[in-house]
């Protein structure tokens, strides 16, 4: 039995929520959001489930905690809710201690309130502060045990927060609590450059399955939000053959009509190669079709992008004014990629666009590096898939993630299609080029096209690639290298796709085996049941005859088998 | 230094837990030795009267409370000097010469 934690993402990680009627210990350092988590747990109970709650505070005053309650303070304005009771557990400042004490008062008060007010959820926040004056480790452990023993029989679903990482405390101080509690959640924090990255880890949840590992989370106005990505298999079910115009006629032709609806296309290239221009064309086509569009830019004002698009005859100003196109820009390095993700998710949930541009997705590496960036890009792709959004991600070729071989970069694997734009220099000319490197489920040309930008729009032109073409000197060598590089990329792409296909095939084969086994079992069961239905009373008569014959004619019942 | 009204003392205990028994014995012993003002000791079992524990914010037991002076002493009162200083502060007991409260 699970009880909703009220924390976005955590219930999914916990496969439903906290264990009903049991205690979950939440440990973390100062400012890790322990109180916020406990508050969300109580708030959800009181507001969403009509369950009265009790919060016993050992570190902060009830007034402070209530004022900073997630969702704009407690009590919530204009919402129906059950009562929350707050108890200030802090010892008054001039309290003197003589000898050891126990937590009898806490237990007596909580028991009484639970009975008289029907309290279902209990949060005990900062119990370590109460024991700060107790130097005897034995006493601390004894009282923690007393508390946990009582909680175990109280019927209350409880969250007990404890502070970790206090310098003058032995590190094993709360081992006992963590050992004795049914659930333990650890809140961790690491610094990446100048940015703090928070992760949540379920250490244990007795008798329940949960998703292990460190889950990134952020603390915002509504409280803690845990980033939880659904598994990959779910987004394969979304395949759709509908095409959305790329905004470039010749590119539509190359891609059998355009980008597949609900897929994500990567447009990579060097600076100035027209990545953002292709993105603008994609948005323009969407706006013309009356679709809601979202542009998310990093490190360049969205207004600038819209203004720049004028140079290729793309006018998005009206759509921006009417709100059909929403455009937002962020400073990439100012927030950890996970917070950018949540901002983007917020825009998508709030505006339900059918086309989204992330320009550039590689900017997500600026704060936190490519490992977190990759994870977030993957989450973004999953988010787009899960909402049927057709997306275009741009990626700068000079960014860290694209060092070495782009074909190996995670982003190239997770996107459904990949278009590369760049420059070719021949005979003293520098021309823009475009090539479709990958397009899942789409027949496409492997030829490099020349990308032509003019005030009347974007166009593609064929380039000479036939063997009869006369190329000499540097241009020939360059062409040969280009072809070799292209083959290498294609071969790597093919091996990536092959590995992916193999995994999918194995997965399917396993589930097929499983289904066949179940089918065979079902057939067996059915035959048995059918037999029983048919024979009915006849069988009983026969059994009686058999028993009689055994009794009178065969003195050894053991030999009657078979 | 006699006051007209006896000074109220409340000792909150948890049923008959070992610490509660020790605390009760300690306070009674100290009060018998006291030579100061008149006093009235009340012993409250938090499990029998949780509302009084809640009103006085008594989450740990034993807790010795002097409601009029808003002072509290927590623990089983086994550190006798601290108990004597507490009572002295309420003018119930004298402080032994040379004693220094920790």
Q: Where are the domains of chain B?
A: 7-91
Q: Are A99 and B15 within 8 A, CB to CB?
A: no
Q: What is the pLDDT of residue A166?
A: 53
Residue A401, number of CB atoms within 10 A of its CB: 24
Three-class SS of residue A111? helix
Q: Contact, A427 vs A475, CB < 8 A?
A: yes
Helix (H) or strand (E) holding A185: strand A183-192
Residues A442-454 pLDDT 10s = 777 777 888 889 8
Which residue from A minimizes the CA distance to B78? Answer: A99
Which residue from A minimizes the CA distance to B76? Answer: A99
Min Cα–Cα distance to chain A from B77, Å: 5
How far apart CA B97 and CA A134 sit, in angstroms, is 28
Residues pairing with A56 in the sheet: A87, A124
Helix (H) or strand (E) holding A137: helix A137-154
Q: What is the pLDDT of residue A182?
A: 87
Distances (CA, A) of A413 to A361, A362, A442, A492, A503: 14, 14, 16, 10, 14
Three-state SS annotation for A13-42: HCCCCEECCCEEEEEECCCCCHHHHHHHHH
Tell whether A472 lies on the interface with B, counting CB pairs under 8 A. no
How far apart CA A251 and CA A128 sit, in angstroms, is 64
Task: Spell out which residues of chain B touch residue A125, defining contact as CB-CB under 8 Å.
Answer: none
Nearest CA among A12, A10, A41 for reference residue A161: A41
What does the block give as tokens for A438? 């990958």
Q: Are A100 and B19 within 8 A, CB to CB?
A: yes
Q: Are A100 and B76 within 8 A, CB to CB?
A: yes
In CATH, the architecture of B7-91 is 3-Layer(aba) Sandwich (3.40)
**Nearest beta carbon to residue A106 from set B17, B59, B72:** B59
ipTM: 0.89
Block residue for tokens 């690639």? A465
Q: Are A130 and B79 within 8 A, CB to CB?
A: no
Considering the entire predicted model, what is its pTM? 0.69
pLDDT-flagged residues of chain A (< 70): 165-178, 229-240, 398-409, 463-477, 537-544, 547-562
Which residue from A minimizes the CA distance to B52? Answer: A109
pLDDT-flagged residues of chain B (< 70): 1-4, 34-36, 93-102
Q: Are A105 and B46 within 8 A, CB to CB?
A: yes
Q: What is the pLDDT of residue A402?
A: 43
Q: Contact, A26 vs A34, CB < 8 A?
A: yes
- Tell me which of A105, A133, A139 to substitute to probe the interface with B (most B C-beta atoms closer than 10 Å): A105
What does the block give as tokens for A414? 């997770």
- Ramachandran region, residue A369 (left: φ > 0; alpha: ψ -120 to 50; beta: rest): left
Distances (CA, A) of A99 to A198, A228, B23: 40, 48, 9
Q: What is the pLDDT of residue A171?
A: 45
């Amino acid at each position: 039995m699970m009880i909703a934690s009220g924390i976005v993402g955590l219930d999914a990680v916990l496969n439903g929520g906290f264990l009903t009627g049991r205690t979950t210990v939440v440990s973390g350092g100062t400012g890790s959001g322990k109180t916020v988590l406990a508050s969300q747990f109580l708030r959800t109970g009181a507001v969403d489930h009509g369950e009265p709650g009790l919060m016993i505070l050992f570190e902060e005053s009830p007034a402070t905690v209530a004022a900073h309650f997630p969702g704009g303070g407690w009590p919530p304005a204009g919402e129906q809710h059950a009562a929350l009771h707050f108890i200030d557990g802090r010892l008054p400042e001039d309290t003197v201690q003589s000898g050891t004490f126990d937590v009898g008062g806490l237990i007596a008060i909580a028991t009484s309130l639970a009975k008289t007010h029907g309290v279902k959820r209990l949060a005990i926040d900062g119990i370590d502060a109460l024991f700060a004056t107790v130097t005897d480790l034995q006493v601390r452990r004894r009282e923690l045990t007393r508390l946990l023993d009582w909680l175990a029989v109280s019927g209350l679903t409880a969250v007990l927060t404890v502070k970790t990482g206090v310098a003058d405390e032995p590190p094993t101080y709360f081992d006992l609590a963590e050992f004795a509690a049914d659930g333990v959640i650890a809140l961790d924090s690491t610094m990446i450059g100048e940015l703090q990255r928070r992760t949540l880890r379920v250490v244990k949840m007795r008798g329940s399955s949960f998703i292990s590992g460190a889950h990134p989370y952020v603390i915002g106005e509504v409280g803690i939000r845990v980033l939880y990505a659904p598994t990959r298999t779910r987004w394969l079910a979304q395949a759709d053959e509908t095409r959305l115009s790329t905004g470039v006629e010749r590119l539509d032709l190359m891609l059998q009509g355009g980008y597949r609806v609900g897929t994500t296309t990567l447009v990579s290239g060097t600076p100035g190669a027209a990545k953002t221009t292709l993105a603008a064309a994609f948005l323009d086509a969407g706006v013309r079709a009356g679709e809601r569009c979202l542009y998310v830019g990093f490190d360049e004002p969205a207004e600038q992008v819209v203004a720049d698009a004028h140079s290729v005859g793309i006018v998005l100003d009206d759509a921006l004014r009417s709100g059909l196109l929403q455009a937002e820009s962020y400073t990439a390095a100012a927030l950890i990629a996970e917070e950018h993700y949540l901002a983007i998710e917020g825009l998508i949930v709030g505006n339900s666009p059918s086309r989204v541009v992330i320009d550039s997705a590689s900017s997500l590496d600026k704060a936190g590096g490519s490992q977190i960036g990759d994870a977030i890009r993957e989450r973004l792709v999953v988010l787009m898939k899960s909402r049927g959004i057709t997306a275009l991600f741009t990626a700068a070729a000079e960014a860290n993630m694209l060092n070495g071989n782009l074909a190996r970069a995670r982003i190239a694997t997770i996107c459904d299609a990949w278009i590369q734009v760049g420059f070719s220099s021949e005979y003293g000319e520098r021309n823009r080029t475009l090539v479709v490197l990958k397009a899942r489920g789409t027949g496409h040309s492997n030829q490099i096209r020349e990308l032509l930008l003019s005030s009347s729009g974007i166009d593609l032109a064929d380039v000479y690639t036939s063997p009869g073409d006369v190329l000499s000197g540097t241009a020939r060598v360059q062409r040969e290298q280009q072809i070799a590089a292209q083959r290498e990329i294609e071969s790597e792409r093919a091996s990536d796709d092959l590995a992916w296909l193999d995994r999918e095939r194995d997965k399917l084969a396993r589930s097929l085996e499983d289904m066949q086994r179940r089918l065979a079992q079902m057939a067996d069961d059915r035959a048995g049941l059918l037999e029983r239905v048919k024979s009915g009373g006849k069988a009983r008569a026969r059994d009686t005859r058999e028993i009689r014959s055994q009794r009178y004619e065969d003195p050894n019942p053991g030999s009657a088998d078979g | 230094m006699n006051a007209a009204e006896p000074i109220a003392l409340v000792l909150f205990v948890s049923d008959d837990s070992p610490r509660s028994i020790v605390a009760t014995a300690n306070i009674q012993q100290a009060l018998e030795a006291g030579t100061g003002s008149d006093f009235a000791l009340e012993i409250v079992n938090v499990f029998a009267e949780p509302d009084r524990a809640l009103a006085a914010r008594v989450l740990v037991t034993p807790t010795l409370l002097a409601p009029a002076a808003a002072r509290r002493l927590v623990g089983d009162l086994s550190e006798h000097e601290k108990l004597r200083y507490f009572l002295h502060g309420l003018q119930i007991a004298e402080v032994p010469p040379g004693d220094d409260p920790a």
